[in-house]
Amino acid sequence: MSREQDSASKSPADWSEWKRINQNTIHHTPYEWDFAMDVITKVVGLKPSQVKPQYPFTGTDGREYRMDFAIITKRIKIAIELEGWDKTNSKRGKNKKEHDEFNRRLQDLTIQGWTTLPVTNAQFKLDKMKYITMIRQLISDPQPAPVVVVNQDNSEVLSSIEDMSGMVRKLASNQKENSPITVVHDNSSSLTSIKKTGVVGIAVIAALLVILIFTLSKNVGAPGPTPANQAPIGEPQEFKNCAALKVKYPNGVAQSQEDKDRKLYSNPVINSSVYNANQKLDANGDGVMCDSN
């Protein structure tokens, strides 16, 4: 039989019986009894059978130790260690060895799955309610956040979707006609109904915006229609002579950038189409016609 099972077989019925059973066990210092009477027995929900004074445990060095109070429930094991400045009645505080040993005890308990709660005598005397509340919180099962399910009428949302779908189709049609898009902000019944639907309404708006962006993006690269009065681009113009060509191209026309770069005192326009149509005007065949040098 384990220690916990053995202790459970001697479980007290109430705190009065717990005090009677353990009054001779809790004798290390008077502070331990005071902590039991002023804190432990005042914790709401804590049962006497769950509190074991001077509970034994084995350290990592193989030695047997005892914690001042063990609280054992189905969900947690709490090891309470009461410490005073002069716990050993030596008229001094802990030396280095005692300090290291105390911390090693806490580490051993943590490794073995205990939640450690070291408390100084002065601390609990100053604020007993703090430790009553702390133990209460540790033994309490965490309460899940309540889930509220609302039976929401989505008819308004569906109506809003239909209205906004029409808006999307109209905007797409306007885009195809190259007419400017005007966004009107108003307090229409469609927008008002979406506001009422909260998160659902926001999700609907987001979905419709995605549809709108996708629809418009398909038309971004599409060329617009040719205006009725726009003349089609024809063949390059032919000129009778250089005088006629210089009316439009005062510095002449070069066939390529390379031909232009050979000219030191002129700045001809590079236009291979015009050059090829009027090649007869390049008298010296240097790739530039009607230039000043």
Residue 117 lies in a domain: yes
Residue 114 lies in a domain: yes
Residue 226 lies in a domain: no
Domain co-membership, 58 together with 9: yes
Total structural domains in the chain? 3
CA distance 255 to 262: 12
Q: How far is CA 243 from CA 74, 205, 281, 291, in A?
A: 107, 66, 10, 11
Percent of the chain with pLDDT over 90: 24
Domain co-membership, 132 together with 43: yes
Q: Is the pLDDT score of 55 beyond 90?
A: yes
**Span 250-276, average pLDDT:** 87
Residue type, 106: L
* Structure confidence by residue, pLDDT tens digits, 176-200: 555 554 444 455 555 555 455 555 5
Residue 41 lies in a domain: yes
Domain co-membership, 192 together with 123: no
**Model pTM?**
0.45
Give the structural domain span for 254.
242-289
How many helices (H) and strands (E) would you count in the chain?
Answer: 12, 7
Domain co-membership, 202 together with 247: no
Q: Which alpha helices (H) appear in the chain, and where do they start and end?
A: 3-8, 15-22, 30-38, 96-111, 121-126, 128-139, 155-176, 189-196, 199-220, 242-248, 257-261, 272-277
Q: Is the pLDDT score of 8 beyond 80?
A: no
Contacts of 230 (CB under 8 A, 6+ apart): none
Q: Is the pLDDT score of 270 beyond 70?
A: yes
Residue 144 lies in a domain: no
Q: Is the pLDDT score of 164 beyond 70?
A: no
Q: Are residues 266 and 252 in contact, defined by beta-carbon separation less than 8 angstroms?
A: yes
Cα 273 to the chain's mean position, in Å? 60
pLDDT of residue 192: 57
**Span 242-253, average pLDDT:** 89
Domain co-membership, 266 together with 168: no
Residue 235 lies in a domain: no
Domain co-membership, 39 together with 129: yes
**Span 54-77, average pLDDT:** 92
Q: For strands 51-58 and 64-72, give the pairing.
A: antiparallel
Residue 83 lies in a domain: yes
